[in-house]
Amino acid sequence: MVEQAQQGYVVRRARTSDVRRIQALVEPLVQQRILLGKDDVVFYEAVQEFRVAETPDGELIGCGALHVIWEDLGEVRTLAVSADHLGTGVGHALVERLEHDAIELGLRRLFCLTFETGFFTRHGYQEIGEEIVPPEVYAQLVRSSDEGVAEFLDLARVKPNTLGNTRMLKLL
């Protein structure tokens, strides 16, 4: 699946030339403390994880990323839709594409940390507790320098970033 055409937009792999537009799309949500801000280098390092929704005239109207956490576990992160396109199915199309990508990679579970519990519940995600992985996997994951993995593990150093968010999981 190279590109996925939707009504009025295409969902496709992000390119390095999209990074600035992804940042512009995400920034209002960072200012509202809905998403975490990231340095430019982090977006460039993760560009291959992103999918974007783009209109025929080149407007970037949504983005989302799939980050592999472990052998069977991934995270949907940085899901954002422009304010003008909320409620039009863009977020749904992005999540659907990320789930398809997860299945292709062999993942069986997808995690998200979100304020948008209604949206993710409609997509089959359920609230979860803290123990998602066995202790031996936790011991490996805690070595990761990735802030998203730290949030997944609910480490004390990221608690200020996660206040009010809900931990959710979907079995694929």
**Top-confidence residue, 160 or 72:** 72
Q: What's the whole-model pTM score?
A: 0.86
Picking from 76, 113, 121, the residue whose alpha carbon sits closest to that of residue 94 is: 76
95, 126, 109, 114: which is closest to 166 by C-alpha? 114
Fold of the CATH domain 10-130+163-171:
Aminopeptidase (3.40.630)
Mean pLDDT across 76-82: 96
CA 122 remoteness from chain centre = 16
- Answer whether residue 160 shows pLDDT above 60: no
Asked if residue 169 lies in contact with residue 125, where contact means CB atoms within 8 angstroms, the answer is yes
When pLDDT is averaged across residues 65-82 and rounded to a whole number, the result is 94
Residue closest to 67 by CA, chosen among 148, 7, 1: 148
More confident residue, 70 or 22: 22
Q: What is the pLDDT of residue 2?
A: 46
Residue 1 has pLDDT above 50, yes or no: no
Mean pLDDT of 35-46: 91
Q: Is the pLDDT of residue 156 over 70?
A: no
Tally of residues, the chain: 172
Percent residues over pLDDT 70 in the chain: 78
Instruction: For residues 39-62, give the mean pLDDT.
Output: 96
Q: Percent of the chain at pLDDT above 90?
A: 65
Q: Which residue has the tokens 């359920």?
A: 126
Question: Does 161 have pLDDT greater than 60?
Answer: no
Q: Pick the closest to residue 65 from 27, 116, 19 (CA basis).
A: 19
Higher pLDDT: 25 or 164? It is: 25
The whole-number pLDDT of residue 149 equals 67
- Mean pLDDT for the stretch of residues 23-47: 92
Going from N- to C-terminal start, the domains of the chain cover: 10-130+163-171
